[in-house]
Homo-oligomer: A and B are copies of this chain.
Amino acid sequence: MTSIEPVVLSVDGHGGDHGEQVVVAACLEALRADSSLEIRVCGIPDRLEKAVTAGSGPQNSRQSIRDRLTVVPATDILAMDVKPVAVLRRGQGSSMWQAFDEVASGRAQACVSGGNTGAMMALGVKLLGLLEGIQRPALMAHFPSATGYVAMLDLGANLNVSAAQLVQFAVMGAVAFDESRKILGENADPAIGLLNVGHEDGKGHELVKSAHGMLKALPLNYTGFIEGHDLFAGKVDVAVCDGFSGNLVLKSSEGLARMLFQELGKAFKSTFRARMGAALASQSIGKLVERFDPAAHNGAPLLGLNGVAVKSHGGADCRAMTRAILEAGQQARRKVPGRIEALIREYRLEAKE
């Protein structure tokens, strides 16, 4: 990969179900993939050192890779089911706290964790702070659509939202949407849609109707209400919704895709003819499966904070965690927080709270 703007990332060494081994392996993999990256991995030092040694196989043994990985000592790790309030009270010294503190202190430009979402939100707000005009952070992710990619937010950080917050999500999504992922369309401004049960102005509950009116008044490329089926049809670049619905849509879609590929696998094994066919079509089908593999899209930025924080899936394997780390690098290089703040100011939304 060509060398671009250098970025320092901090990574929570114990975020997720798999512990240090997977995280460290992913750090090494990300450093190998992006030579202008530097990583500060936070955690219990001896465990991390052990993982670094284990992960430094022939591919990662080059000094240039190891030199760009620094262990930042933490005294504790947070449980996956930790309560946000407990993190704020007693979380100092934990690997997640350290990872956020690296960004807060300016030693890193972005942090990554596979830990508890609520804990990440609490630490993000405490240590990085909210951008002016943003009431709550929101989780966003990119998914493959028929025409390229669609970004959706919020994915579960906010279960109850106000119309003003939905508008803030739209502004954050417009900035954070990765333009390089847009395959069709030459319009520079990402097309934003608000998820609803119908396309017409009168459809939906008061919350979405109110946000709809506010969004129409802004100079965003707001295309109006979209329905669930528009999401994967590639009608918009960014889909906005409350975190409860967004979380259900995200997880049900992941579950459906997984089930369909499993059933496809079964169908390919069901008869001798099907097995022959599968062997012939395997390369083409493999590409398709890869494109829709959730691991290939892991790494959800927690937007609205005064700094870049990326949430990795708790069950992420090495490949998925590597994706989340590289996503954090992208968000930092694209200076997403500063651009969100500028747009909020341009739209004079910070005064409307």
Interface residues of A (CB under 8 A from B): 81, 83, 145-146, 156, 159-160, 195, 197, 200, 202, 204-205, 227-233, 241, 243-245, 247-260, 262-264, 267-268, 270-271, 273-274, 276-285, 287-288, 291-292
Contact of B273 with A251 in the complex, beta carbons under 8 Å: no
Tell me, rounded to whole Å, the shortest Cβ–Cβ distance linking A210 to chain B.
13
Known: A256-B256, A256-B257, A277-B280. 20 other contacts (CB 8 A): A160-B205, A195-B248, A227-B251, A228-B254, A232-B256, A244-B245, A245-B245, A248-B248, A252-B253, A260-B260, A263-B291, A263-B292, A264-B288, A267-B284, A274-B280, A274-B285, A276-B277, A276-B280, A277-B282, A281-B281
Partner of A252, one of B243, B249, B274, B282: B249
Given contacts A288-B263, A292-B260, contact A197 B243 (CB under 8 A): yes
State in angstroms the CA–CA spacing of A268 and B264 once bound together: 13
| In the complex, chain B residues whose CB is within 8 Å of the CB of A83 | 202
What's the least CB distance linking A215 to chain B, in Å? 18
> Main secondary structure on chain A at its contact with chain B?
helix
Q: Which residues of B contact A263 (CB under 8 A)?
A: 146, 288, 291-292
Contacts of A288 in B (CB 8 A): 263-264, 267
Which residue of B has the minimal Cβ distance to A157?
B197
- Which residues does chain B contribute within 8 Å of A256, judged by CB atoms? 231-232, 253, 256-257
Q: Which chain B residue has the least Cβ–Cβ distance from A235?
A: B255
Please state if A159 and B204 are interface contacts (CB–CB under 8 Å): yes
Contact A267 B247 (CB under 8 A): no
Chain B residues lying within 8 Å of A247, measured Cβ to Cβ, are: 197, 227-228
Q: Pick the contact of A229 from B227, B245, B255, B276 — CB < 8 Å? A: B255
Chain B nearest CB: distance from A304 CB in Å?
19
Chain B residues with Cβ below 8 Å from A81 are: 200
Known: A205-B159, A277-B279, A281-B273. A229 touches B252 (CB 8 A): yes
Shortest C-beta distance, A336 to chain B (Å), equals 25
